[in-house]
């Protein structure tokens, strides 16, 4: 079932249908319809205005942001890119977010690719391979979503810091943690999608002498591409927007902190510097917004397949 299914064939629910209605009912439903549209419009505006205001503000000169509301921009437009220049490439105390943007990217790409590959393979083990105890183990993996990330943070952190690997590879703990935390949901979703692939397809290939590796690579992967895409978007947004894991495993190490951690810190330490905060916030949401808007269809698909994330 797709969210886009609502092709506007019936433009007006309340006024269509039942032909034998009295003028009074018709009038009433028309009013109800108007009120309904007005309510929807109000909600839509409430949901959009805050982000819109932030975007406008980020392009206003510092003095203007601090002395007048962003809505005055339309009477007295003054446009500047200085805030972005400052927050991205300026002094360290003004954010230097370009570095953190790169950190977020360096964290997010492996933390999306690795769990996705592992989860796809695990989904194959849980849906195509037949072994004793399979269903029980699968339920166990699914149930791991109960465990809040908070439960795993301290021991995992100790494990990494005692391994000595963080010195040469500081990002390792973030990559691995994100990969692990993604697995229960990703395995569950991909297993659901994979179970929908007709069994005959796999069996026919097996009869023809294809091994599991070729069934996996030649049959499953192409068929699963849309499902993998939807889980990938999920994971990408999750990792990019995450604060808890980023903050915990990068500690106070500014060299590897993600954008979210830096921004949260700036919101505290430079809470009144709205020229930096507005531009900074936009730097952090621009990439997920683009991904989200261009791939919304897949995202919705993943969402509808059921999601609970620890």
Partner 1 sequence: MDFFLYTKFGQMLLVLIAFAALIAVLLAIAWAADRWVGKGRRWAALAVFGGPALLLLAVGLIWPAIRTIYMSFYDAGTHNAVGLQNYIFTLTNTGAVIAFRNTFIWVFLVPIASTLIGLIYAILVDKSRLEKLAKSLLFLPMAISFVGAGIIWKFVYEYRGAAQEQIGLLNAFITWLGFEPVRFLQDAPWNTLFLIAVMIWIQAGFAMVILSAAIKAVPTDIIEAARLDGVNAWEMFRNITVPSIRPSLVVVLTTISIATLKIFDITRTMTGARFDTQVLANQMFDYSFVFGDNGVGSAMAVAIFILVIPLVAYNIRQMAKNRAVRG
Task: Check binding of 124 to partner 1 (CB under 8 A).
Answer: yes
CA pair distance 166, 158, nearest whole angstrom: 11
- Applying CB under 8 A, the span of 73-81, 87-95, 142-150, 221-229 interacting with partner 1 comes to 142-150
- The residue (of 13 and 201) whose beta carbon lies closer to partner 1 is 13
CA pair distance 93, 4, nearest whole angstrom: 45
What is the DSSP secondary structure assignment for residue 93, as one 8-state letter?
Answer: G
Q: Which of residues 258-277 bind partner 1 (CB under 8 A)?
A: 260, 263-264, 267-268, 271, 274, 277
- Applying CB under 8 A, among 15, 93, 163, 296 the residue interacting with partner 1 is 296
- Applying CB under 8 A, among 83, 230, 248, 250 the residue interacting with partner 1 is 248
- Contacting residues for 182 by C-beta, under 8 A, at least 6 apart: 111, 115, 116, 119, 235, 238, 239
Task: Check binding of 237 to partner 1 (CB under 8 A).
Answer: yes
Helices (H), the chain: 23-58, 62-67, 82-89, 97-127, 134-143, 149-163, 172-195, 199-207, 212-214, 221-241, 244-250, 259-269, 274-294, 296-304
- Applying CB under 8 A, among 84, 242, 245, 273 the residue interacting with partner 1 is 242
Q: Which of residues 176-215 bind partner 1 (CB under 8 A)?
A: 176-177, 179-181, 183-184, 187, 211-214
Long-range contacts from 64-71, C-beta under 8 angstroms, 24+ separation: 65/274, 65/275, 65/278, 66/272, 66/274, 66/275
- The residue (of 93 and 150) whose beta carbon lies closer to partner 1 is 150
- Applying CB under 8 A, the span of 78-86, 87-95, 196-204, 292-300 interacting with partner 1 comes to 292-300
- Applying CB under 8 A, the span of 73-81, 83-91, 121-129, 222-230 interacting with partner 1 comes to 121-129
CA pair distance 299, 288, nearest whole angstrom: 12
Task: Check binding of 96 to partner 1 (CB under 8 A).
Answer: no
- Applying CB under 8 A, among 15, 27, 30, 40 the residue interacting with partner 1 is 40
């Amino acid at each position: 079932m797709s969210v886009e299914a609502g092709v506007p064939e019936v433009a007006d629910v309340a006024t269509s249908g039942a032909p034998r209605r009295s003028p009074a009912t018709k009038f009433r439903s028309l009013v109800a319809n108007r009120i309904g549209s007005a309510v929807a419009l109000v909600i839509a505006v409430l949901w959009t205005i805050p982000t819109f205001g932030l975007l406008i503000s980020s392009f206003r000169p510092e003095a203007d942001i601090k002395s007048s509301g962003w809505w005055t921009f339309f009477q007295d437009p003054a446009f500047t890119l200085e805030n972005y220049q400052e927050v991205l490439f300026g002094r360290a105390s003004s954010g230097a977010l370009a570095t953190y943007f790169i950190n977020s990217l360096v964290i997010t790409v492996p933390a999306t690719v690795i769990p996705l590959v592992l989860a796809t393979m695990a989904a194959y083990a849980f849906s195509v391979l037949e072994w004793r105890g399979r269903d029980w183990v699968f339920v166990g993996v699914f149930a791991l979503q109960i465990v809040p990330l908070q439960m795993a943070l301290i021991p995992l952190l100790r494990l990494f810091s005692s391994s000595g690997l963080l010195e040469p590879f500081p990002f390792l703990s973030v990559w691995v943690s994100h990969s692990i935390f993604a697995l229960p949901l990703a395995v569950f979703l991909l297993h659901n999608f994979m179970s929908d692939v007709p069994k005959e397809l796999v069996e026919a290939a097996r009869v023809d002498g294809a091994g599991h590796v070729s069934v996996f690579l030649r049959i499953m992967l192409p068929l699963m591409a849309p499902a993998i895409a939807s889980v990938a978007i999920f994971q990408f947004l999750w990792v990019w927007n995450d604060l808890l894991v980023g903050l915990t495993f990068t500690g106070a190490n500014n060299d590897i902190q993600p954008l979210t951690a830096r921004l949260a810190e700036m919101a505290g330490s430079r809470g009144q510097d709205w020229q930096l905060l507005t531009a900074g916030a936009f730097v952090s949401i621009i990439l997920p917004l683009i991904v989200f808007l261009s791939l919304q269809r897949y995202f919705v698909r993943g969402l509808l397949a059921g999601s609970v994330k620890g």
